[in-house]
Copies of this chain bind each other. A is one copy, B any other.
Amino acid sequence: MKTLIIGVGLIGGSFALALRRHMLSDEIWGVETSPENAAEALSLGLVDRIVALDEGLPSADLIVLAVPVDAAPLLAVKILNRIGARQTVMDTGSIKEELCDVVSQHPMRSRFVATHPMWGTEYSGPSAARNDAFAGRTVVILERERTASDALALVERIYETIGMHRIYMDSGEEHDLHAAYVSHISHITSFALALTVLEKERVEQHIFDLAGGGFESTVRLAKSSADTWIPIFLKNKYNVLDVLREHIHQLQVLRKMIEADDADGLAESIRRANTIRRIIK
């Protein structure tokens, strides 16, 4: 199988490594608009060649979209316009509603598999690609009934082989709502926490010295890339704002309890928060 990966950064690069490691693809070509990233992806051996989109498309069995979420919908249409009935296109982005909508009426819709492998790190670019990515995590596959069975089977087999647990969702809308709750909000709180501490704690050496494991793990996501996350926040604006409103409300409730020395109220809230143990091991 020959694979064309569009966007050879953290996700595209890690996906290339996973394909190679599990011998799922004989040849991997990449499309990459940034010359620095292109050179780096080649020198790291993530892809065999960097090509232009039109050069890479005709011979690819599998086309993998791994670009920022604001670029994906238009690119998906352009690719579907140019492929044949035996080629499969998949994407890997964190936002799905607009993308699923945009391709919905395309005559080649059935060649497209919308997926979201729930893995990432706070780093970006080809050098952030990791050999141990994806395994043990969940991948969401969307609108499977709109996908040709051979295309779906190919993508399912790849995710199975690289060790991902599959779940299915019926719509991009449903996906984006859940993603706001369990992924996007964490990034916003982490950015805000970093800004708070940088604002309040002027003595940086003290942050460094005093940050126990707790602070490090809550603030880790604040190292994440603006280029990746701004399109996600803006494309998922409605859901993100909704969750953010609730989060600020919860902080204000805790603040009022602390102000009022309301130990009983705090105990009730914290014990409720502790129930997250049931869900997150």
Spell out A's residues near B (CB within 8 Å).
118-122, 137-138, 140, 165, 167, 178-179, 181-183, 185-201, 203-204, 206-226, 229-230, 233-234, 237, 240-248, 250-252, 254-255, 258-259, 261, 263, 266-267, 269-280
Contacts and interface: CB of A to CB of B under 8 A. Distances in A.
A255 to B, nearest CB: 5
Nearest to A264: B230
A259 B212 CA distance: 34
A194 B138 contact: no
Chain A facing B: main interface SS: helix
Given A183-B210, A230-B267, 8 more contacts: A188-B254, A189-B218, A198-B276, A216-B280, A217-B217, A219-B276, A244-B251, A244-B258
A272 to B, nearest CB: 6
A255 B241 CA distance: 7
B251 A189 contact: yes
Contacts of A267: 226, 230
A244 to B, nearest CB: 5
B250 A199 contact: yes
Contact of A246 (B122, B200, B270, B280): B200
A273 B194 contact: yes
